[in-house]
Amino acid sequence: MPAAQPFFDWGYVTGQWSQIAGDLVQHIVLSLVAVAIGTLIAVPMALVAWRYRLLRGVVFGVAGALYIIPSLALFAILGPVTGYVASYPTAEIALVGYTLLILIWNTVAGLDAVPADAREAAVALGYSPSAALARVDLPLALPYVFAGLRVATSTVIGLVTVTALIGLGGLGQQITYGFGIDYATPIIVGLVLSVALAAVCDLLLVGAQRLAVPWSRTGSGGAS
Amino acid sequence: MDVVDHVRHFIASVAAWLTTSSHWTGSSGIPQLVWKQVLLSGAVVVGAVLVGGGLGLVLGHTGRGGLVAVNAANAARAVPSLALLTLFAIVPAIALTADGFLAAFLALVILAIPPILTNTYVGMREVDADVRDAARAMGLTGRQVLGQVELPLAVPFIMAGIRTAAVEVVATSTLAAYVSYTDLGTPIISGLNTNDPVEAFAGALLVAALAGVVAGVLGLLQRVLTPSPLRRRARTGLLPAGRVATAAT
């Protein structure tokens, strides 16, 4: 690269668009799968932690430990089992691990915040415990669940780039490519598209929340 | 049995790596790597507390501009740390300063400011308005209200933010080994690059242990610094309430 490289080179974006689009698609797939699997695991675990106080410590302990271990270290720890190079299981297990604490924490907080009145009313109306859970507790906890989904999604979208170090990476491949040849443009492409993707996903989640929880229009369901 | 033998052999190799005396001495020895990681992470957290905590205190005290700051902090969460690290590391003037320390420091400070800023701001706003009014009525000046009333009451939130940031910084500083710096990330990166799972795994164990120690020590500090009347209801979890709260607004 010449010493006076431009800070951003549009020619790169137009010239390499098919590669960039491919990386973007991989980024979306890696993120979506992680958040989806994370949600499928986290919600039942949150229910267990909420129902059985004794298990709460165990659930939060496991999720907390997964959250604390650095992603790069988790790749290296999982690698001998699931494979190092371009291994989707390695990447996804680690990414899912980071969503768990966020999602479980928020879901339990949401269930804890269900007003006792609402639950008593449900019992008085003759709801069985499981019906009350499905039709009263979980719907009322949804604003918190969505809050967790929003944090988990933007966290995962940022983290996916790190999987470039094990040969995946989505937009992270733009970053490692740019770094490898001392060229800022691909790095900026990776950064801007990651942030844009996170913003779009956040807007979609806000929209989904309005559809699913019409009574919390202003997003006032949170703790503050 | 094959698998069991394989696992046993792998664990033995990792143990052997960790107990090889040459891995514990010299400029790339484990104590030196730990020290460099602690040095970098510590400097980053102090810098982020000064900037993010200071800004959060001012915004929380005046109650102005907070929403903008909190939303900006939320958006910053999606910025890939790898992109910041590599961007700073390809600027020669920054990359070559202090053996890559400066590049890593700048990238990680940007990463660490948002959780501290958000939690400080939320903690300040969570202070009961009645308490604030009572302090004013007793004749405390604005600065005294901030220092003697709001700040102590906000400590659980602020410490939770610092703890979250510190854990993230320790984790992400391993990525600095990919671009410019030398710390516990170095054996992991080198192991991944040379297809040496033993070296990568050993490095990963050390990093995970360090992250756990940092989380534990800061949790303890959080407890100690929380004014005793607040302790019973203090949130000691890793994820601060601010995360739940800000994401919901």
DSSP per-residue codes, B171-221 = HHHHHHHHHT--STHHHHHHHHHTT-HHHHHHHHHHHHHHHHHHHHHHHHH
Q: Is B11 on the interface with A (CB under 8 A)?
A: no
Query: CA–CA separation, B224 vs A82, rounded Å?
Result: 42
Domain range for A92: 26-214
Which sign does the torsion angle of CA A101, A105, A108, A110 carry?
negative
Among B18, B71, B82, the strongest candidate for a mutation testing the A interface, having the largest count of A CBs within 10 A, is B82
Q: What is the pLDDT of residue B245?
A: 35
d(CA B5, nearest CA chain A) in Å: 14
More confidently predicted of B33 and A223? B33
Of the ranges A78-92, B79-93, B227-241, the best mean pLDDT one: B79-93
pLDDT digit string (tens) for B149-207? Answer: 888 888 888 888 898 889 889 988 999 989 878 888 888 888 888 888 888 888 888 99
**Residue with token string 């979980």:** A138
Burial (CB count <10 Å: 0-12, 13-18, 19+), residue A116:
exposed
Name the class of domain B30-248: mainly alpha
The parts of chain A modelled with pLDDT lower than 50 are: 1-2, 219-224
Longest Cα–Cα distance of chain A, Å, equals 76
In a domain, A85, yes or no: yes
Cβ contact A70–B195 (<8 Å): no
Phi, psi of A110 (to 5 degrees): -65, -45
Is A5 within a domain? no
Residue A102 and residue A70: Cα distance in Å, rounded?
A: 15
Minimal Cβ distance to B248: which of A73, A147, A162: A147
> Pseudo-torsion of CA A122, A124, A125, A130, nearest 10°?
50
The pLDDT, as a whole number, for residue A219 is: 47
Domain-located, residue A10 = no
Please name which of B202, B214, B191 lies closest in space to residue B23, comparing C-alpha atoms.
B202
- Other beta carbons less than 10 A from residue A94's beta carbon: 25
Q: What is the mean pLDDT of residues B14-27?
A: 82
Q: Give yes or no for A29 touching B (CB within 8 A).
A: no
Give the side-chain half-sphere CA count within 13 A for A63.
27
- CB-based burial of residue B121 (10 Å sphere; 0-12 exposed, 13-18 middle, 19+ buried)? buried
Task: Determine the straight-line distance between the first and last CA of chain B, rounded to whole angstroms.
Answer: 54
User: Is the confidence at residue B65, as pLDDT, over 90?
Assistant: no
Task: Note the pLDDT of residue A176.
Answer: 94
DSSP B146: I
Q: Does residue B182 contact residue B105 with C-beta atoms inside 8 Å?
A: no
A170 touches chain B (CB under 8 A): no
**DSSP character for B236?**
-
Contacts of residue B195, defined as CB under 8 A and 6 or more positions apart, other chains included, come to A84
In chain B, % helix, strand, coil (3-state, to 5) comes to: 85, 0, 15
Complex ipTM value = 0.84
Residue A173 placed within a domain? yes
Q: Which residue of A has its CA nearest to B164?
A: A68
**How confident is the model at residue A20, as a pLDDT?**
93
Q: Contact A188/A175 with Cβ under 8 angstroms? A: no
- Band (pLDDT 50/70/90 cuts) for residue B244 is very low
Substitution target from A81, A165, A203 for chain B, most B beta carbons within 10 A:
A165
Question: What is the number of structural domains in chain A?
Answer: 1
Nearest CA in chain B to A170: B80
pLDDT of residue B142: 82
| Interface membership of B189 toward A (CB under 8 Å) | yes
Residue B53 clears pLDDT 70, i.e. is over it: yes
pLDDT value at position A38?
96
Q: Is the per-residue pLDDT at B234 higher than 50? A: no
With pLDDT > 70 as the criterion, what percentage of chain B qualifies? 91
pLDDT score recorded for residue B4: 83
Q: What CATH code is carried by the domain that includes residue A199?
A: 1.10.3720.10
A189 close to A107: Cβ distance less than 8 angstroms = no
Res A3: pLDDT: 52
pLDDT at B193: 84
Let me know if residue A189 belongs to a domain. yes
| Rounded CA separation B12/A90 (Å) | 23
Report whether A160 contacts A170 (CB < 8 A): yes
CA dihedral B184, B185, B188, B194 (to 10 degrees): -110
